[in-house]
Amino acid sequence: MRLEHRMLEKELMEGEEAEAYAGSDFSIPHNAFVDHFIELFPDFTEGLVADVGCGSCDPTIRLAKKLQGLTITGIDGSDKMLELARKAIDKEGLVDRVRLIKRILPDITGLSGIFDAIISNSWLHQVHEVEKALPTMAELAKRGAILMGMDLFRPVSTERAHELVAMHAKGAPEQMKVDFYNSLLAALTPTELVAELKKAGLGHLAVEVVSDRHMIFYGRR
């Protein structure tokens, strides 16, 4: 079946679903996220960073360990994800450089315009109102600050979605396979992302497909 439109999933992970996600191995895409950031912005080695929709903070931690001049604020609306993130941050000895704030965008009270870079990883596909989320994400940034996100993009059909699950979630728990499939169906296409960025006043940002299931958007505010 062709996937003409997004099939939305719930915006926040809680309970066992959050634990299953945090316990899964996303090392390949998360390392790729960090590598893309460093390649695109090689001169950015210190500053304040906001990670929007940080979840359990695995890519956040990987970036913090790679670039030790960064101080990162992880922003998420899920109590369970933030609990798991705190444990991971403590385990890695990063409590002095990675802090966590519970917020659900568009609430950015006290955070507007203070960050040197805004990042997000695997967040947009969970957002129901992208037209509100993207402008709010940009409002966190100082003028000239870095904006970069990586996310899934929606395949052309349910058949292709099943193929991607078979290729990339082989051996994963059944619930994770279901979640991955649902996330693929909830994702934007690159064309849709370009249109949403334009509506948000961010049409100057680049959009690039970087794998068989991931795209990035990047530039400066």
Would residue 3 count as lying in a domain?
Answer: no
Q: How confident is the model at residue 17 (pLDDT cuts 50, 70, 90)?
A: low
Residue 25 has pLDDT above 70, yes or no: no
The interaxial angle of helices 79-91 and 15-22, nearest 10 deg, is: 30
Mean pLDDT for the stretch of residues 50-75: 95
Q: Is residue 75 situated within a structural domain?
A: yes
75: which 2 tokens? 């922003």
β-pairing, 206-209 with 214-220?
antiparallel
In the predicted model, is pLDDT for residue 43 greater than 80?
yes
- The answer to the question of residue 173 being in a domain is no
Continuous H helices in 25-173: 27-40, 58-66, 79-91, 130-139, 158-168
pLDDT of 210 reads 96
What's 87's domain CATH number? 3.40.50.150
Stated pTM of the model = 0.89
| 163, part of any domain | no
Q: In which band, very low, low, confident or very high, does the pLDDT at 18 lie, cut at 50, 70 and 90?
A: very low
Q: How far is residue 55's CA from residue 48's CA, in Å, rounded to a whole number?
A: 18
Which long-range contacts (C-beta less than 8 Å, at least 24 apart) are formed by 89-93? 89/57, 89/61, 92/61, 92/64, 92/65
Q: Which residues constitute the domain of residue 138?
A: 15-154+188-220
Name the helix (H) or strand (E) containing 16: helix 15-22
Q: What is the pLDDT of residue 162?
A: 94
What are the pLDDT digits (tens) for 130-157?
Answer: 998 999 999 999 999 999 999 999 999 9
pLDDT band for position 16 (50/70/90)?
Answer: low
Number of domains in the chain: 1
The answer on pLDDT for 22 being more than 50 is no
Kindly state the average pLDDT of the residues 73-86. 92
Q: Is residue 138 part of a domain?
A: yes
pLDDT range class, residue 27, cuts 50, 70, 90: confident
At 125, the pLDDT band (50, 70, 90 cuts) reads very high
Residue 171 falls inside a structural domain: no
Does residue 164 lie within any of the structural domains? no
